[in-house]
């Protein structure tokens, strides 16, 4: 496309000789279809794809060329974007994680801009028209996954879009996903998500597998007045009672309880549709509590391949929580799945964890009202994380055996973070799903002790470098707050244009 016919905001970029501009019209179709048709003849070139009304970063060409040179394994790059109002002021900065399979299925977080190698466009063509509507470029990314073409981010704000971003609508993505699932015989279904324009991916469980819930307890009780309903029943009893609300077939649920107390009085007289097995896990009076060691003892006793490791102070909130966990836990590429956990006062305890926050690893939105909006709706959106809490952790025996379970060096804290990161090092994904939702009365079921200093040092030495570059987070997001916000530098060039 000659510079004379380029959108005005695109003319300041150095397009020659290796970059091809591909501005898109209102329906996300190329303004110049001939450029797309010529992809096969443009071997070695990079196509920059974005809405025609987008303002491009002055150094977009530099970032695109560097990324392409450093990552020959990647065929499609995407960048961060800023939304601006009519006056050019930034309203939202969309800082994106590295390629995130679960998030891509739930939300068109990739959006634009795209930097695509000509060789990819020669293999895969976006298909436009009423059937694919706005999802042509989203569908192209799905097809790239099928062909093993790498997709990853350029962690820089590359465009600013006036009056809000353009992306594939949820209805169009839903149609594209259903066709993709059918084409590859994937037992998955898609429905509406919990945030506007997002989706839920749910596994079709024609024959739900038997699942073992692995629960340690010492029969502790909530403090008087700690719970809204005033209950002081033992936590383990409250959990068992709440399991009856689960929509998962009760005869496929086996609860393996590791009990530090030999007295079984609290269990007498129960009549549950699920089975219960109780193991006495008493320890010597002078033996310190080691959660990791206790859980290693228990999960190895589980009689099923699929298991959910659980604290005893959680209570089922969403009836389909087990089905939501199984959606990802049954995927052989996934090591573990975490749930959305809410405090009794209706604030967030866990919605996935991010590395790098406060120089280590933290729960984003901790203590925030569960109804308050979160960055990009992430607290209510399925997505890959590097770390989830061990308070509710769905996994498989093979994944646990591959990493030899919990590292018992971390007796109380960090053992779940360490477990997730070990699985990630083996190439196994860790996923967070908000559709598995439970109440959590955190720390009330065990002694409220801080981890010893030597364990903290050991953890930091092992994982500090990994956590500082969490692929599920973004270097353009702040690391000094758990509320998740863009750094001011993420949109500095956009604001400078207005000065």
Asked if residue 178 and residue 217 are part of one domain, the reply reads no
Q: What is the pLDDT of residue 448?
A: 46
197 found inside a domain: no
Is-contact 433 327, C-beta < 8 A? yes
Is-contact 173 135, C-beta < 8 A? yes
- In angstroms, the CA 219 to CA 473 distance is 38
192 found inside a domain: no
Using alpha carbons only, how large is the chain's radius of gyration in Å?
Answer: 25
Q: What is the pLDDT of residue 447?
A: 44
- In angstroms, the CA 101 to CA 431 distance is 9
Q: What is the pLDDT of residue 225?
A: 84
Asked if residue 65 and residue 119 are part of one domain, the reply reads yes
Asked if residue 221 and residue 176 are part of one domain, the reply reads no
477 found inside a domain: no
Asked if residue 234 and residue 169 are part of one domain, the reply reads no
What CA–CA distances, in Å, run from 224 to 218, 221, 234? 18, 9, 12
118 found inside a domain: yes
Q: Which residue has the tokens 């594209």?
A: 176
Asked if residue 161 and residue 276 are part of one domain, the reply reads no
493 found inside a domain: no
DSSP SS3 for 395 = strand
Domain tally, the chain: 2
Q: Where are the alpha helices (DSSP H) in 264-396?
A: 291-299, 321-329
- Closest by CA to 496, choosing from 10, 95, 163, 84, is 84
CA 168, chain centre distance (Å) = 20
Asked if residue 12 and residue 147 are part of one domain, the reply reads yes
Asked if residue 436 and residue 332 are part of one domain, the reply reads yes
Asked if residue 26 and residue 138 are part of one domain, the reply reads yes
Q: Is the overall model pTM greater than 0.75, yes or no? A: yes
Q: What are phi and psi of 291, to 5 degrees?
A: -60, -45
Of 134, 152, 187, at which residue does a domain stop?
A: 187
Q: Which residue has the tokens 């600013």?
A: 160
What CA–CA distances, in Å, run from 296 to 43, 337, 398, 411, 428? 53, 18, 14, 11, 20
pLDDT tens-digit series, residues 312-336: 999 999 999 999 999 999 999 999 9
Domain ranges, residue 124 = 3-187
338 found inside a domain: yes
- In angstroms, the CA 489 to CA 357 distance is 17
Q: What is the pLDDT of residue 444?
A: 47
Average pLDDT by stretches of 10, the chain with 499 residues: 75 89 92 91 94 95 96 98 90 96 97 97 87 88 97 97 85 95 97 96 97 97 88 96 98 98 95 97 85 97 98 97 98 98 97 93 96 97 97 98 96 94 98 98 56 80 92 96 95 87
Beta strands in 180-322 (DSSP E): 188-192, 199-203, 211-217, 253-259, 275-280, 306-310, 314-316
474 found inside a domain: no
Asked if residue 223 and residue 156 are part of one domain, the reply reads no
pLDDT tens-digit series, residues 420-441: 999 999 999 999 999 999 999 9
- In angstroms, the CA 64 to CA 45 distance is 11
Assign residue 452 the CATH number of its domain: 3.90.550.10
Q: What is the pLDDT of residue 1?
A: 54
Angle between helices 415-425 and 453-468 (to 10 degrees): 40
Asked if residue 276 and residue 155 are part of one domain, the reply reads no
Q: What is the pLDDT of residue 127?
A: 87
Query: What residues form DSSP beta bridges with 22?
Result: 49
Q: What is the pLDDT of residue 499?
A: 66
Asked if residue 93 and residue 215 are part of one domain, the reply reads no
402 found inside a domain: yes
Is-contact 489 155, C-beta < 8 A? no
Asked if residue 225 and residue 166 are part of one domain, the reply reads no
b/e map 330-352, b = 16+ CB within 10 Å: bbeebbbbbbbbbbbeeebbbbb
């Amino acid at each position: 496309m000659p510079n004379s016919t380029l959108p005005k905001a695109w003319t300041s970029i150095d397009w020659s000789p290796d970059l091809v501009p591909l501005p898109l019209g209102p329906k996300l179709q190329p303004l110049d279809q001939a450029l797309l048709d010529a992809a096969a003849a443009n071997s070695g070139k990079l196509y920059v794809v974005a809405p025609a009304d987008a303002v491009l970063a002055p150094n977009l060409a530099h970032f695109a060329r560097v990324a392409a040179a450093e990552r020959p394994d990647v065929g499609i790059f995407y960048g961060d974007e800023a939304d601006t109002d009519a006056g050019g002021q930034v309203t939202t900065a969309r800082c994106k994680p590295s390629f995130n399979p679960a998030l891509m299925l739930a939300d068109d977080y990739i959006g634009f801009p795209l930097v695509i190698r000509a060789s990819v466009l020669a293999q895969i063509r976006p298909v436009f028209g009423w059937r694919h509507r706005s999802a042509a470029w989203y569908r192209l990314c799905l097809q790239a996954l099928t062909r093993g073409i790498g997709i990853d981010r350029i962690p820089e704000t590359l465009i600013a879009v006036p009056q809000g971003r353009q992306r594939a609508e949820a209805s169009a993505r839903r149609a594209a996903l259903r066709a993709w699932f059918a084409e590859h015989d994937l037992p998955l279904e898609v429905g509406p998500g919990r945030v506007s324009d997002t989706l839920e991916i749910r596994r079709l469980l024609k024959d739900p597998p038997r699942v073992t819930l692995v629960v340690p307890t010492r029969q502790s009780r909530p403090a008087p007045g700690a719970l809204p309903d005033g209950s002081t029943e033992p936590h383990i009893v409250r959990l068992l009672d709440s399991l009856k609300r689960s929509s998962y077939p009760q005869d496929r649920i086996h609860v393996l309880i590791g009990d530090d107390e030999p007295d079984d009085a609290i269990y007498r007289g129960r009549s549950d549709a699920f089975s219960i097995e109780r193991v006495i896990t008493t320890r010597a009076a002078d033996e310190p509590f080691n959660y990791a060691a206790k859980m290693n003892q228990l999960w190895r006793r589980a009689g099923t391949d699929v298991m959910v490791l659980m604290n005893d102070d959680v209570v089922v909130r969403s009836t389909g929580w087990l089905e939501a966990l199984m959606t990802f836990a049954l995927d052989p590429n996934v090591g573990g799945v975490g749930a959305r956990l809410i405090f009794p006062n209706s604030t967030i305890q866990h919605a996935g964890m991010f590395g790098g926050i406060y120089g280590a690893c933290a729960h984003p939105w901790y203590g925030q009202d569960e109804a308050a909006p979160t960055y990009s709706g992430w607290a209510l959106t399925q997505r890959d994380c590097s770390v989830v809490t061990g308070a509710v952790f769905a996994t498989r025996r093979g994944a646990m055996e591959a990493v030899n379970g919990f590292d018992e060096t971390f007796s109380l804290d960090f053992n779940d973070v360490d477990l997730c990161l070990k699985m990630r090092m083996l190439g196994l994904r860790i996923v967070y799903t908000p559709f598995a939702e439970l109440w959590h009365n955190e720390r009330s079921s065990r002694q409220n002790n801080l981890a010893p200093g030597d364990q903290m040092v050991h953890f930091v030495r092992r994982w500090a470098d990994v956590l500082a570059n969490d692929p599920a987070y973004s270097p353009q997001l702040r690391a000094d707050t758990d509320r998740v916000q863009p750094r001011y530098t993420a949109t500095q060039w956009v604001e400078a244009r207005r000065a």
